[in-house]
């Protein structure tokens, strides 16, 4: 489990541009399960509602116990883990579900999971290193 701070990304930009006050940013801090078997961030519906983000589409998803449910995808999230941030999407789980941090967030924020200590850590203190290909 690790702390996850989520903000409405539009609110965040509006605050940076002086359109709204910083205290008007819709923000939620939760403990989230780092699930190395999950691909993407997943949030319970009540958290998505508090953030005021819009559901864009729906898909079938298979849960860890093998059952299949339909989930929505929300966009416009600012995601912060261990002082590193990104914008992105999340799948919406039923109310009361445990928030999940997936591989997309771990990779983009350059975080590693120490299986022995069961902790999430930054890989390099100076910041994420991106692997990019150069097209000639």
Q: Smallest Cα–Cα separation from 15: which of 24, 28, 7?
A: 24
Query: Could you tell me how many residues make up the chain?
Result: 136
SS3 content of the chain, % helix, strand, coil (to 5): 20, 45, 40
20 DSSP assignment: S
pLDDT of 27: 98
**What pLDDT sits at residue 36?**
86
State the pLDDT at residue 95.
Answer: 94
pTM for this model (two decimals): 0.85
What is the per-residue pLDDT for 129? 63
Low-confidence ranges of the chain (pLDDT < 50): none
Mean pLDDT of the chain: 91
Q: What is the tens place of the pLDDT at every residue in 40-58? A: 999 999 999 999 998 999 9
Is the CB of residue 45 less than 8 Å from the CB of residue 95?
A: yes
Beta carbons within 8 Å of 48's beta carbon, 6+ residues apart: 55, 72, 74, 90, 92
Please give the pLDDT value at position 49: 96
**Which residue ranges form the domains of the chain, and what is each CATH number?**
2-122 (2.40.70.10)
Question: So what's the pLDDT on residue 123?
Answer: 83
Give pLDDT, residue 127: 63
Contacts of 5 (CB under 8 A, 6+ apart): 27, 28, 29, 79, 80, 81
What pLDDT does 47 receive? 97
């Amino acid at each position: 489990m690790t702390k996850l701070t989520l903000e409405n990304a539009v609110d965040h930009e509006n605050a940076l541009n002086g359109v709204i006050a910083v205290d008007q940013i819709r923000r939620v801090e939760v403990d989230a399960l780092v699930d190395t078997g999950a691909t993407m961030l997943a949030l319970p519906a009540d958290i998505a509602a508090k953030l005021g983000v819009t559901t864009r589409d729906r898909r079938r998803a298979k849960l860890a116990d093998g059952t299949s449910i339909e989930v929505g995808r929300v966009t416009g999230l600012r995601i912060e883990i261990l002082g590193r941030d990104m914008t992105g999407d999340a799948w919406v789980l039923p109310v009361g579900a445990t928030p999940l941090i997936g591989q997309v967030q771990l990779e983009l924020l350059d975080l590693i999971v120490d299986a022995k200590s069961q902790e999430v850590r930054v890989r390099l203190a100076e910041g994420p290193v991106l692997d990019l290909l150069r097209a000639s």
